[in-house]
Amino acid sequence: MTAERQEQVLGILLRRAGWVTAADLADRLGVTARSVRSYITAINALAPAGDAIESGPHGYRAMPSAAAVRDELAGAQHGAPRERVRGIIRRLMGAPEGIDVFDTAMSLHVSDATVEADLRRVRGMLTDSELTLQRDDGMVALAGTERSLRRFLTRVVLDDLDERVFDTEALERAADAMGVPAPGLAEFRAGLIARLSGLGFAVNEVAAAEVMLRAAIAVERTRRGRSTPEADDDGGPDRVRVGEVLDELAARHLGSHLTPADRRHLAGVALVSLVEPGESSDEPERRVAEAVSVALRRAAATYGIDLSEEDFVRGFAQHVHNVVQRSHEHVGSRNPMTRAVKLASPLVFEIAVSVAGDLADELGVAIPDDEIADMAMRIGSLVGAEPDAGDVLTAVLVCPGFEGMRNRLQVHLERALGHELAITRVETGYAQDWAGIDADLVLSTIDPSSTGDDRIVRIQPFLTSRDIARVADAAQRVRRQRQLRGLRSQMRPWFAPTAFIRNARAAAPEAMIRLLGDALMREGVIDEEYVASAIEREARSSTAFTESLAVPHAMTMSAVRTAIAVAVNEQSIDWGAERVHVVALVAFSETDRAAFQTVFEQFVDVFADPDNAARIVRRGDTLEAFLDEIAALIDAPA
């Protein structure tokens, strides 16, 4: 358990990539701050220079050697239940006739009951795998096709890697631990990407891990006499070309050619995962294209956006065709930007959830968060294609002196930052009424006579890259404060005094949604159908948008009026893959559709900073205190 805790500490710090307080770590692990300190000491003792984690006034942060220590810890836990289960899976994969429970217990130096418990865990992992555990007295075997066995083995390896799935060395170690030696994966990856690009395909490199691993498993299983049935046909010109590439790379880097069946199958996997939609000769099925058209129209009507652009719809349909094919082939989509996409634009992610939900129902496929994030990026490229004129800030340039220099400075500013701000006036005098300048920003080549006005950005007469960065930062700060002030002006009337709960007893998403839903039903805002819709929405994709905040909501805007019920818990609760302190059940009415984006994105923005979240949780013991803390954070200088 201690080694597992240490690995969890490293995982949190590596994911955050910045300072994390001891209190935050303790809360996320469910231990004391003293235990956290002992974990840190033990972790640093494993690093050659004792520097895996740096300690400081702001808490702890991961250093360059942290990733290697985490890998060492993951590999050292052979006695832990997880590693023991993986060992049993490896034995089952290598013994088609099955394994003896009693012999296995003796070889692992554990009791029969422990092995039986591990087998129950294995059985739970077989969901949606097309495999079953068959029992004949003391003998247990994995039953299913060779293709299903290989898919399951692929999933086990990749699930163990988590976010390290893009680290080729970690992938090699994880594969080897499951009986698949693959020392040439780095070269295989580079060759695969280069060769497919050379064939004219646009390649999505994040999917390379699955293709590489499947190829290595195919080679190893075939070497052990576990081959798959031959294919009836070659699958078309694209599969032939890609199959030839995979076969050549397997022979060069994995030590063996692929069988014709594996060549065709793996080429299909590559085409639906590695190759960008529209780049292969496969066209989307008619039912897929029709489902996409309906889902996009419904989302456009719900959220008041235009998703009808012809090229976008065609490309999106091709992408969904690949999603369906990946689902049929049990090909995972591991998107390293899922968390960033979800946090950066909650509304766009929500639109993608809506579209994905309709497609999943119509096409009968599961669409996980990583696939939804990919859809969100495509939708975001369309929704965000035209800049909002309201986002362009006004600026006054204060630049006394030589006119030619002043004109040159204005031209350079507009060239570098014209997408961020519009210079509405140029002031040439040294004596300025700084407070009277009416603009979002003041860009000045002279020092202001008064201080404390955070609109003023001091720049050089000859614009430098540092000046550009300072102005861009100031523009972002002003824009964020403007947006948050919009939230502050709207949020107070929406929070129901009787729908604020401190330290709610509910410890799971559905129970919490029902608890907060009951509060809003007592206010006459929503009905049981709305609560059921919110629970259904949560099942599609977690609404934990930050490490501290979940914002559950229904998939319709059917509330009588817009209202928000809040639970603030000092002890975090599990919410999907996160642990959160604050849950805000949001009920929107149709008349407030325009406010959906404002509240949704800006509320998430307030909680995106862990320090902000910790302050609100610590001080927000009543609704008034909760709202006061949010308002104080909105008004605080950035």
What CATH code is carried by the domain that includes residue 566? Answer: 3.40.930.10
pLDDT at 132: 92
CB atoms within 10 A of CB 538: 21
CB atoms within 10 A of CB 334: 20
Asked if residue 311 and residue 230 are part of one domain, the reply reads no
Q: Roughly what angle, to the nearest 10 degrees, separates helices 593-607 and 465-494?
A: 120
For 275-279, which contacts have Cβ atoms below 8 Å and span 24 or more sequence positions? 275/196, 275/201, 275/202, 275/203, 275/204, 275/242, 276/201, 276/202, 276/203, 276/204, 277/315, 277/318, 277/319, 277/321, 277/322, 278/314, 278/315, 278/318, 279/200, 279/201, 279/202
Asked if residue 615 and residue 503 are part of one domain, the reply reads yes
3-state secondary structure of 587: strand
pLDDT at 75: 54
Residues 6+ apart with CB under 8 A from 454: 474, 477, 637
Asked if residue 189 and residue 229 are part of one domain, the reply reads yes
Residue 414 lies in a domain: yes
Q: Which of 531, 554, 532 is nearest to 600 (CA)?
A: 554
Beta bridge partners of 580: 573
**Domain boundary residue, one of 76, 98, 113:** 76
Query: Cα(326)–Cα(332) distance, rounded to whole angstroms?
Result: 7
pLDDT at 47: 83
Residue 545 lies in a domain: yes
* Number of structural domains in the chain: 6
pLDDT at 277: 63
Residue 409 lies in a domain: yes
Asked if residue 525 and residue 600 are part of one domain, the reply reads yes
Residue 208 lies in a domain: yes
Asked if residue 369 and residue 393 are part of one domain, the reply reads no
pLDDT at 216: 94
- Range(s) of the domain holding residue 522: 486-635
Asked if residue 416 and residue 503 are part of one domain, the reply reads no
Span 31-75, pLDDT tens digits: 777 778 888 888 888 888 788 898 888 889 888 888 878 767 765
Asked if residue 115 and residue 62 are part of one domain, the reply reads no
pLDDT at 450: 64
CATH number at residue 411: 3.40.50
Residue 596 lies in a domain: yes
pLDDT at 78: 44
Give mean pLDDT in consecutive 10-residue pieces for the chain, a chain of 638 residues.
Answer: 75 79 78 81 84 86 84 58 87 92 89 89 86 91 93 87 71 88 88 90 80 93 88 74 94 93 91 70 78 93 87 90 84 75 83 92 89 89 56 86 82 84 87 85 83 81 85 82 64 82 89 94 93 92 88 88 90 86 89 70 78 87 87 64
Tokens 């930007």: give the residue: 337
pLDDT at 386: 44
Asked if residue 134 and residue 119 are part of one domain, the reply reads yes
Residue 481 lies in a domain: no
pLDDT at 92: 94
CATH number at residue 35: 1.10.10.10
pLDDT at 383: 74
Asked if residue 138 and residue 37 are part of one domain, the reply reads no
Asked if residue 496 and residue 552 are part of one domain, the reply reads yes
Alpha helix stretches (DSSP H) within 384-464: 403-417
**Contact call for residues 369 and 399 (beta carbons, < 8 A):** no
Residue 280 lies in a domain: no
**Domain boundary residue, one of 43, 60, 76:** 76
Query: Cα(628)–Cα(622) distance, rounded to whole angstroms?
Result: 10
Residue 470 lies in a domain: no
Q: Which tokens sit at 601?
A: 């994105």
Asked if residue 311 and residue 265 are part of one domain, the reply reads no
Asked if residue 599 and residue 530 are part of one domain, the reply reads yes
**Contact call for residues 247 and 307 (beta carbons, < 8 A):** no
**Domain boundary residue, one of 108, 129, 144:** 144
pLDDT at 385: 44
